[in-house]
Amino acid sequence: MDLRPIPARDWADWYTQELCASFPACECKPLEAIRALAAEGRYELLGLYDGVALLGYATLWSTPEWPDYVLLDYLGVTAARRNGGLGGAILKMLAAREAGRRTVLVEAEAERSGGPEEERPLRLRRLGFYARNGCTPVYESFNCGLLCQVFVLGPAPADRADLKAAHRAIYGPARTDVVIDPPPGAVPEPPYWM
């Protein structure tokens, strides 16, 4: 197995068959936005492959203003291969790939995200997955109309000011739905595509 770029010719299939089939609509940014970010050199789509078979994926979003930071935008495993350790394998490969190069930020829907109560066990499972796989919680954020727990892949930096500034800069000023470390009582906005 290896982690390598998903060819651009396969992005539309990845988007419809994997991303939109696995994530809620409020979390699926438009494919055109992903393509635009990739054209600017700010977005990477990586696939976990066994030969030519796509097993899973990780997408990384960055900004040139903060080259030492990158956001794990999406992490997923194809439906037939879930719950077999591949998500953890992708995180391990990402940690090795980015070690000494960039700090990897990770967002996951928080336990008290504002999402449906019946999905609470799934939220707790995801949060546990990241904690078991070497991610350290650092603060919360609003994103896509939800409260998210933000992690870093690996140990947390002592100074979080740069981490928060880089995180905000990755999204850019147009994403008013994104709030880093929101104040108590604040309410998240829906994403711009909703």
Q: Is the sign of the CA dihedral 163, 179, 107, 62 positive or negative?
A: negative
**Residue with the two structure tokens 């904690």:** 131
Average pLDDT of 53-75? 97
Chain segment 151-171, per-residue pLDDT in tens:
999 999 988 999 999 999 999
What is the reported pLDDT for 194?
A: 66
pLDDT at 140: 96
CATH number for region 2-180? 3.40.630.30
Helix (H, G, I), strand (E, B) or coil at 147: strand
Q: Cα(194)–Cα(143) distance, rounded to whole angstroms?
A: 12
What share of the chain has pLDDT > 70, as a percent? Answer: 99
**Residues 2-60: pLDDT tens digits?**
999 999 999 999 999 999 999 888 889 999 999 999 999 999 999 999 999 999 999 99
* 77, 47 Cβ separation under 8 angstroms: no
* Out of 3-7, 79-83, 99-103, 136-140, least confident range: 79-83
Highest mean pLDDT, choosing among 22-26, 99-103, 109-113, 172-176: 99-103
Place 82 in a pLDDT band, splitting at 50, 70 and 90. confident
Q: Is the pLDDT of residue 192 over 80?
A: no
91 pLDDT above the threshold of 90? yes
Boundaries of every domain in the chain: 2-180
For position 71, what pLDDT does the model report? 98
Q: Contact at 8 Å (CB) between 42 and 62?
A: yes
The Cα–Cα gap between 127 and 102 comes to 22
Per-residue confidence band for 115, with pLDDT thresholds at 50, 70 and 90? confident
